[in-house]
Structures are given as structure tokens and as C-alpha cells.
Structure 1
Amino acid sequence: MTLPRLPLAIHTNVAELLDQLRAAQLAEFGDGASFLRRERKGRFYWYVRSRQTQGDRPERYLGPETPELLETIESAKAAKTAAGDRRLLVRSLRAAGLHAPDDRTGRTLKAMARAGVFRLRAAVVGTVAFQTYGSALGFVLPSQAVRTGDLDIAQDRGISVTIDDGLDRPFLDMLRTADPTFSPVPKLGPSKSATYRTPDGYAVDVLTTSRHAGDEETSRLDALNTDATPLRFLDFLLRETVETVVLYDDGVLVRVPTPARYAVHKLIVSRKRGQANPKRRKDLEQAQALIHALAHDDPFALREAYAEARGRGEAWREPLDQAVSLLPSEARAALEG
């Protein structure tokens, strides 16, 4: 597989848009916002307090302390709204061939970002996440692997339990700010739902990590104010997530799994789908594209993710080995070193 590289200028513009969105997210808390550092079990975490965050939740969670977050906080203190400039940048990136979501997915992601879904460490998973990797890695991804008709959002259950923050409204109410026709799809009774659907079939699925095979059909995610479907192997995917840009409107700042973990996870789930499931082939196409990109730019991350998954036991090694046997020799070599 050969993937065209993005020109350096385009890749640089993506990084600039990402920095602007990070600063804009914090600037939305308003003039006079104060940024607070908290210590928990030897690690430091940052929160923000402003006029917009008074009431039941006077402080909003920003994340664990990193050099990038500290730099963003400093930028946000003096940031000015520049949505018009960001829109022009988004249009130029889309014109350069980078993938963008359909309008409804874009509106839904923007509503989630405004509500704080991704600030609360939830992540986009599935094909919508894959669409963002081209701009992040500097490659043009194959168009046949980026088509989708739904949106998957996932949050680690442990994070949802321990994080000292959450959405101000039910997840469904937040979705309806993007499309008022969203309705819950009940599970185990009318009071529980992990899927929200529009009359024409567009679906948002909320997923979470599974602790064991006996998990109930749904688990409660207090931070996101919704139920979620527990899935096996999802803890591997969500163990490391990164911020990236969705090319819609003036840009949407979201979280996605690291490309290496996404690629290895897709290899596993491709073998868990039925033979007739068309997603099986797309899983392999997405994994192969990311393996190609990472083999050039970050081979160590790829091999580490692959080795970690294989080290989790036979239930992980068997589907991985089956999927890897279907890859071209250069992709197998990139994984195995």
C-alpha cells in the first residue's frame, strides 16, 4: 500500500489549527477565568473556574498536567476569538484532500465539544476517528476506508467514576442541540439507553470498557450522563488518547485513540466480526493504512502496541495472528520488527 504524503505546509497548518483550538477551548471560559492545580495520588491535575462555571460544578476539569496543557493555559489567558480565521484554515485543509465528516456528524461533534465531552476524556472511536489520522500523521488516507453512517463515542469507566466533573445535562439533551430528532434506543427497559438514533437511521453509540465477560448489557457513565455498552478490548484502545482536529466549520477539537492502538485494535476486531460483515474488510483496510504510515514515522509506537496486545494472552494473540496473516509482508514486518 502506498499513501501520498501531505505537503509540509499543509501538515504545519494542521498543527497550527490544533493549537488555536486548544487555546480557544479554554478562552471560552471567559475573561477572568482562574486556572487551578490540584494534586491527587502524587499527580497534578488542572481545573478552571470562571463566571460560566458557577453553580453545582464551580470548577471544570481540564486534564492531567503536561507541558502542552501548561502552554495552552498560558495562550488561553490572552487568546482572542478567531473563528473566522480558523474557518478559512479548515476550508484550505479540506481543499487539500484531507477528509472531513458529513454535516450531521460535524454538528454532533461540535455540540459534544461545546458541552465538554472530550474535555472529560471521552474519545471518538471507529471510522470518524480514522478520518482524523491523515491530518495528524501527514498522509492522505484511502477514501474507501473513511465512509461511515454512524458515530461511536467511548469513555473508560474508571475515568467516568473518578473524574470530578460531568455534563450539565443528559447526553440525549446535548445531542438534540445538534439534531432535535435524536431519540434513545432502549436497552433492558425504557430507562436505559446507550444508542441514540434519528428517524432516518443515523446513530450515536456510547461505549465503555468491559471488566469481565459477565458485564451487564449497559453500564452507567456518570460523567457523560448516559448509559454505555461495555465492549471487550476497548480498554486497550482507550489507554492512550490524543487530541486532534475534525475539519468541520471552524474546526472541532476532539480526542481519539493513538493511531498505533487504533491499528492493532482494528486487527483484533476484524476477526471478531462475522464472515459476511462488510466492516470486517474495512477494519483491515484501516489497520493496513495506519501501519503503512506509522512504519515510516513512528515504528516504535506501532511495535509497542502490537507487543502489548499479544502479551495479554491467548484470547488476544489468536485473532491478532489470524489478522496479521492476511496482511502484506511489509505490513507484517512493520509490526513484528
Structure 2
Amino acid sequence: MKQLYSAFQATYHTEFENLFQWAQTQEIIYIGTPGRIEERLRGTDTFFYHRFYDASGNQSEKYIGGPSGTPEGELALKNVQDRISSADMVVQSVRELRKLGFAVIEDKAGATLAALHNHGLFSGGLTLIGSHAYGAILNKLGVKAPSYLTEDIDTVRSNPLSLATTPQMSLLDILQTSGLPFIKAKTGLRSGDKSETYKLPGREKLLVDLLVNGSDIGAPILVPEFEAYAQAVPHLDYLVDGRLESVILSKNYAVPVYTPNPARFAIHKLFSSLSRINQPAKSGKDILQAATVICAMEDKYPGDIEDALNAFPDSGKGLMLKGAEKALPIVQSHSEQYGDVLRRLIDG
């Protein structure tokens, strides 16, 4: 038997849950390292500055306030001291969780997600999917498994986002508030298409993709609130229905996001594994991720996988069941019992 994952000790998972709950309280995430406060004399008065490293790893400095001893200066100083204390707590907590095997992403990706959070995109309806969501799902389920290091950020806009409190900004403008120099590029999926991706220049591998529901895979669809063309992917409405609060961890950030319901994530992965064109490596990754979540869900929430499979749209069910056939040997290698469950679901 080949075990797909192992469960964290209850005390370790409680540490994660505490950080998860704290992360949900953040309205604004300050991007960069926690940094430190410096005092500088101007004449006879002392003023305060915050020195830190930004998302690109460059030293940065922001004026805090002053003079020392004035109500305004002391209040500004306390606000930044509190921010630094919270940021130090996140860094320490994430460091400990990473050592235990919790999924932690690269910090530039964390800063990018923080920028999306700061502009209300997740609370407004955006959902994180893909391998970053997979890592978050593993963390929430309390299991340790290979989390497939990737710098790609895949997001789904299922309905027009509710951004009434946010000034109109393009997606490119929002991404650049991370302090990272994002540029817009064509996806190259199909010649002449308008669908776009967002990337860092040069050899940087970080990509951000905006996806929408659509039957024509890769077709460009205008998302007016972002001034962006998204890529169509089938059955994303099914995937994000019933989405859940989650958190993404990176070295300096604990970012509140929304991810799919784990059972629907697994079932959609079975479908997407066979809907990919000329991407065998990603298809194999989809199958393994689906098999892992299927087993973890049968451990903790038996019956949820069956409900999710039965709810999958009829138009894609045949392809999804073929994906389930590919996942079956992997599930069986972890648990004959869960393999029997999946076999019964496939046979109907």
C-alpha cells in the first residue's frame, strides 16, 4: 500500500487553525518584510521611519511620523509597532508550520495574493484554484502530502465581482500594487486570441491567470470590472459553488482567500485531467491531486465525494468518469476501502 498523505498531530493542526482564524481578521496586509523602526534627529526633534524589504527584495523606507513625544507622532509610531509585531508573529508561525510539513508558497506569490486581498477581490467573489488551492485544502484537512511547488496563480471570477467599495482599477493595476512589476501578455493558447496572462519580466516564472466559466476551452472573455480578457474553462461554476474560506501561507504572509469545496475540487480535477490538450505532466498532477483529496475526504467526511460526483454536470460527466478510472489505482493503493467506494461511484 502506498500512502498518499499522513495526518498532522492534533496539536499541530490547532496551531494552523489559530493562524487561519487570525488571518481572517486582516483588512489590509502590509506587503514586505516586518522590518524595523529607525529614529532620526532633525534639529532637536526625533522622527520615525520604517525600514523593510519590499516584495522584490529591495530595501525600502517609509516615513512614520513625529516628532517624538507629540500625540500624533506617538500614535503613528504605535500603529507601525503593532503592525511589525503582527507581521513578526506571522513569520514565526509560518516558519514553524513549514517545518512540520504544512504547504507554504513562494513569497512573491504570497505578496501577489495579498494585493488581491487588499482590493477586496476574494471577498468580492474571486476564488483561488489550482495547485495553490490544493495546498490550502491539504492544510485545512490537516494532512501532509506533496503540494506541487508552482508559481502559477489561477483565479476564477464566476460572477461580476462586488467591488462597490473599491475604486475602479484594472487587474494589472491591482497586481502592481504588490510592488512587483507585473506586465500583461498574451496566453498564446490559440493564435490571434485576446486572452491574457500576467507575468513578471525576464526569467521570473510567476504567472497570474484569470479564468471564467465557458465551454470553449481557452476562449477569451472580457471581464469589464478588470479591463481584462479571461480564459474560458468548462464547469468552473460547479467548481466554485459552495466555496470556502481558506488561508494561503508564505514566508511573510497569511492571506485570507476562498478556495473550492475540497470534494468539488477533487471531482473537477478528474474532469480537467482529461480536458487538457498536450499537457500530460499537468494531467498526471491533476489525477494525483484528485486521488489524494478523495482519500482525505473519505477519511474525514465520508459521503461528500459521492455528493460532489453526483452533482457534476451531465455534459462533462463522461470525461470526468474516465478521469476517475485513471485515479482509481492510486486511490486503491492508499486504501482498498476507498478504492471500493470510487469503483462503486464510477459504475453508478
**TM-score normalised by length of structure 2:** 0.71
Cα pair distance change 1:208/1:106, threshold 3 Å: same
Q: Which has the larger radius of gyration?
A: 2
Corresponding residue for 2:260? Answer: 257
Corresponding residue for 1:232? Answer: 234
Report the Cα distance in structure 2 between the residues aligned to 1:106 and 1:215, rounded to whole angstroms.
26
Report the Cα distance in structure 1 between the residues aligned to 2:231 and 2:132, rounded to whole angstroms.
18
Cα pair distance change 1:168/1:125, threshold 3 Å: same
Structure 1 residue 333 corresponds to structure 2 residue 337: no
Report the Cα distance in structure 2 between the residues aligned to 1:171 and 1:184, rounded to whole angstroms.
10
The partner residue of 1:246 within 235, 245, 248 is 248
For the residue of structure 2 that corresponds to 1:117, the secondary structure is: coil
Corresponding residue for 1:292? Answer: 295
The partner residue of 1:101 within 99, 105, 108 is 105
Q: Share of identical aligned residues, percent?
A: 25
Corresponding residue for 2:116? Answer: 112
For the residue of structure 2 that corresponds to 1:133, the secondary structure is: helix
For the residue of structure 2 that corresponds to 1:219, the secondary structure is: strand
Cα pair distance change 1:294/1:87, threshold 3 Å: same
Counterparts of 1:172-251 in structure 2, within 5 Å, are 172-186=172-186, 194-199=196-201, 200=203, 201-210=205-214, 213=216, 217-222=220-225, 224-248=226-250, 249-251=252-254
Report the Cα distance in structure 1 between the residues aligned to 2:255 and 2:15, rounded to whole angstroms.
15
Report the Cα distance in structure 2 between the residues aligned to 1:230 and 1:94, rounded to whole angstroms.
34
Cα pair distance change 1:213/1:169, threshold 3 Å: closer
Corresponding residue for 2:157? Answer: 155
User: Amino acid of the residue matched to residue 94 of structure 2?
Assistant: V
Deviation sequence 1:222-273 (CA, Å, 0-9, x none): 2x45332222111111112111111121411111111111100000011112
Report the Cα distance in structure 2 between the residues aligned to 1:5 and 1:126, rounded to whole angstroms.
22
For the residue of structure 2 that corresponds to 1:118, the secondary structure is: coil
User: Amino acid of the residue matched to residue 138 of structure 1?
Assistant: G
Structure 1 residue 137 corresponds to structure 2 residue 141: yes
Corresponding residue for 2:65? Answer: none
Cα pair distance change 1:108/1:285, threshold 3 Å: same
- Contact 1:166-1:225 at 8 Å conserved across structures: no
Report the Cα distance in structure 2 between the residues aligned to 1:6 and 1:113, rounded to whole angstroms.
28
Corresponding residue for 1:322? Answer: 322
Report the Cα distance in structure 1 between the residues aligned to 2:200 and 2:253, rounded to whole angstroms.
25
The partner residue of 1:272 within 270, 275, 299 is 275
Offset of 1:178 from its aligned partner? 2.6
Offset of 1:214 from its aligned partner? 10
- Contact 2:198-2:209 at 8 Å conserved across structures: yes
For the residue of structure 1 that corresponds to 2:23, the secondary structure is: helix
Q: Which runs of 4+ in 1 moved over 6 A?
A: 187-191
User: Amino acid of the residue matched to residue 321 of structure 1?
Assistant: L
Structure 1 residue 85 corresponds to structure 2 residue 92: no
5+ residue gaps, structure 2, are 31-81
